[in-house]
């Protein structure tokens, strides 16, 4: 995905390196190579490539990663603006 | 013409050993050579049926056929296992599959195109064979099975409501709970001696591997994003290379998304076009039918060109359009499309009208392009929301100005 870059400094991704046990899963599940795990902990190597899918946070066994996952879809976001955050939303 | 063709079935052995492939030939329709239906040799027909005309009877039912169920065309036969008969599926796609794929791709029957969840197999798997997990969207299922020729494997299909792996993971139907539920439902622990499930990496947003392990004892191994890398992945000790883990968005992948994008705007477009024609008719003599028609056609052309510029041109030229913001990409293509339209219309319209048509094409294109973010695999929701806060006011303003000037134009000139 090197030919596609989206907006910078928007992702909600946060890594708590103190909690990390270096299991390596975040690197395996991330589809945009945001993490690198080596001696012995994970670090974020390409933060702006993150698309907030939530795969890393869901799979970190010690909850060292947090991200607000969501659907990057305009009609979804409009419905959320109109109906409020917790509404049931039909989407793509 | 119906009478001229007849379903030809292979003569079936009276007793089925579940190994034959008679079923797969059953769907072929062979045209009849002779025009007299009565002269067909009735192979296998019973004597007392002799005076009865019409097509020859279907082959005897297979032992695994059940009342109330229909065996789907991609099932070759059934394999006996400790937990019951498991369908063995074909790895080649047939006309039916390809037709279904095309229909799903252009947005017809997209919502209902699913396979029954549960356990399937390919080849001759045993209790050591890998278990591949997928979604029950028929296209996901097809793209997996067509890569499995020559492999022996179990396939566990989750109930993702007919949605593909990536979207289902986002909607949490491809989920930790669903994996655990299906593993228990098919009694997978009785089928295999190992305790591993291979999941497509794009399912990871919905599935926590450590929770699956806790919930059913199976360890999740994250497989490649694309089914075509499955064989290489299995050979590589079930490890994904970096390339197998990265999303791509090639021109081909972008183009296949366009028909569905377009099919989603058909309904709103009809309403908008109607409004364009009605607005076009407003004239100093209250309403003019000829104006509704001729000015309406120009308005409709601007609208449709806007849709084309935003929903077709932007996806195709995505990496080459300057700016990372989709609404700006849409403005760029919309301006181009609008200018082309004005060149074609030339002197036939007033200056005020040309401005209006340009604004309409640009706002529609910008909005359509912004909507394409939902289909791309690299836009973060935070980013989309940010650009929408900038883009929507611009689009709204353009539309409002366009409508006002369009309606005002006949009064001014
Ligand atoms: S949210 Fe998704 S894209 Fe972002 S770092 Fe995590 S896995 Fe990678
Ligand atoms: S998944 Fe969590 S614990 Fe494992 S390497 Fe990544 S941050 Fe560290």
The structural domains of chain B, with segments of one domain joined by +, span: 13-41+72-247, 252-412
Which CATH number characterizes residue A78's domain?
Answer: 3.30.70.20
Class of domain B13-41+72-247 (CATH, top level): alpha beta
For residue A8, is it within any domain?
no
Nearest to B330 by CA among B309, B316, B356: B309
Alpha-carbon gap: A15 to the closest alpha carbon of chain B (Å): 16
CA distance B403 to B358: 12
Kindly report, residue by residue over B298-323, the tens digit of the pLDDT.
999 999 999 999 999 999 999 999 99
Ligand with an atom nearest the CA of residue A42? 2
CA distance A21 to A85: 34
**Best interface-test mutation with A: which of B384, B390, B391, B393 has the largest number of A CBs within 10 A?**
B384
Alpha-helical runs (H) found in B6-94:
22-25
Mean pLDDT (chain B) is: 84
Say if residues B127 and B79 touch (Cβ distance below 8 Å): no
The ipTM value here is 0.88
* Cβ-based contacts under 8 A for chains A and B: 132
Alpha-carbon gap: A13 to the closest alpha carbon of chain B (Å): 11
Residue B343: per-residue pLDDT: 93
**Best interface-test mutation with B: which of A26, A33, A34, A51 has the largest number of B CBs within 10 A?**
A51
Q: Transcribe B281-333 into DSSP letters.
A: HEETTEE-HHHHHHHHHHHHHHHHHHHHIIIIIHHHHGGGSSSS-HHHHHHHH
Please name the residues between 242 and 261 in chain B that touch chain A, using a CB distance below 8 Å: 242, 245-249
Q: Which segments of chain A have a pLDDT < 70? A: 1-2, 72, 85-92
Look at A30-34, B10-14, B168-172 and tell me which has the smallest mean pLDDT: B10-14
User: Which structural domain range is residue A43 located in?
Assistant: 14-83
- What percent of chain B stands above pLDDT 70? 86
- Would you say the pTM of this structure is higher than 0.90? no
Kindly report, residue by residue over B18-38, the tens digit of the pLDDT.
333 333 444 443 333 333 333
Look at B46-50, B92-96, B325-329 and tell me which has the smallest mean pLDDT: B46-50
For residue A76, is it within any domain?
yes
For residue A49, is it within any domain?
yes
Tokens encoding B201: 């990496």
Residue B147 has pLDDT above 90, yes or no: yes
DSSP state of B127: T
Q: Which chain A residues are closer than 8 Å to B251 by Cβ? A: none
Residue B411: per-residue pLDDT: 84
Residue A73: per-residue pLDDT: 72
CA distance B106 to B101: 9
Residue B8 has pLDDT above 60, yes or no: no
Question: How many domains is chain A partitioned into structurally?
Answer: 1
Look at A1-5, B207-211, B256-260 and tell me which has the smallest mean pLDDT: A1-5
A50 close to ligand 2 (CB < 6 Angstrom): no
B244-248 mean pLDDT:
91
Closest residue (by CA) to atom 7 of ligand 1? A30
Residue B99: per-residue pLDDT: 82
Question: How many C-beta atoms lie closer than 10 Å to residue B361's C-beta?
Answer: 32
A76 interface with B at CB cutoff 8 Å: yes
Residue A14: per-residue pLDDT: 95
């Amino acid at each position: 995905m090197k030919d596609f870059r989206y907006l910078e400094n928007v992702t909600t991704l946060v890594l708590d390196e103190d909690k990390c046990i270096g299991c390596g899963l975040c690197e395996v599940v991330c589809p945009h190579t945001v993490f690198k795990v080596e001696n012995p902990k994970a670090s974020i190597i390409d933060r702006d490539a993150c698309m907030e899918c939530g795969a890393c946070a869901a799979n970190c066994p010690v909850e060292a990663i947090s991200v607000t996952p969501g659907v990057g879809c305009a009609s979804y976001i409009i419905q959320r603006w109109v109906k409020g955050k917790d509404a049931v939303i039909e989407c793509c | 013409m119906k009478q001229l063709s007849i379903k030809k079935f292979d003569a079936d052995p009276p007793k089925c050993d579940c190994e034959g492939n008679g079923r797969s030939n059953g769907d072929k329709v062979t045209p009849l050579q002779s025009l007299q239906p009565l002269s067909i040799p009735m192979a296998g027909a019973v004597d007392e049926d002799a005076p009865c005309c019409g097509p020859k009877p279907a082959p005897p039912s297979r032992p695994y056929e059940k009342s109330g169920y229909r065996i789907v065309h991609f099932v070759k036969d059934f394999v006996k296992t400790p937990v019951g008969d498991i369908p063995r599926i074909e790895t080649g796609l047939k006309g039916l599959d390809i037709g279904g794929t095309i229909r799903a791709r252009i947005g017809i029957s997209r919502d209902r195109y699913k396979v029954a969840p549960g356990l399937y197999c390919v080849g001759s798997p045993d209790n050591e064979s890998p278990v591949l997990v997928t979604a029950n969207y028929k296209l996901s299922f097809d793209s997996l099975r067509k890569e499995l020729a020559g492999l022996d494997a179990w396939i566990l299909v989750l109930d993702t409501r007919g949605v593909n792996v990536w979207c289902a993971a986002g909607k949490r139907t491809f989920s930790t709970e669903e994996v655990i539920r299906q593993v228990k439902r098919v009694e997978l622990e009785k089928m295999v001696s190992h305790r591993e499930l291979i999941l497509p990496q794009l399912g990871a947003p919905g599935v926590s591997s450590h929770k699956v392990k806790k919930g059913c004892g199976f360890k999740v191994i994250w497989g490649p994003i694309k089914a075509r890398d499955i064989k290489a992945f299995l050979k590589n000790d079930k490890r994904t290379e970096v390339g197998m883990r990265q999303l791509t968005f090639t021109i081909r992948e972008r183009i296949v998304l366009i028909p569905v994008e377009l099919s989603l705007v058909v309904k709103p477009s009809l309403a908008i076009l109607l409004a364009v024609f009605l607005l076009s008719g407003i004239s100093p003599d209250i309403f003019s039918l000829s104006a509704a028609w001729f000015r309406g056609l120009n308005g409709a052309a601007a609208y449709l060109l806007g849709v084309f510029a935003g929903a077709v041109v932007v996806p195709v030229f995505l990496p080459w359009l300057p700016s990372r913001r989709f609404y700006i990409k849409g403005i760029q293509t919309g301006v181009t499309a609008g200018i082309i339209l004005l060149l074609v219309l030339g002197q036939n319209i007033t200056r005020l009208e040309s401005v209006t048509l340009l604004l309409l094409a640009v706002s529609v294109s910008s909005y359509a392009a912004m909507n394409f973010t939902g289909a791309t695999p690299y836009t973060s929701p935070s980013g989309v929301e940010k650009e929408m806060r900038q883009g929507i006011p611009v689009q709204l303003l353009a539309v409002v100005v366009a409508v006002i000037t369009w309606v005002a134009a006949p009064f001014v000139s």
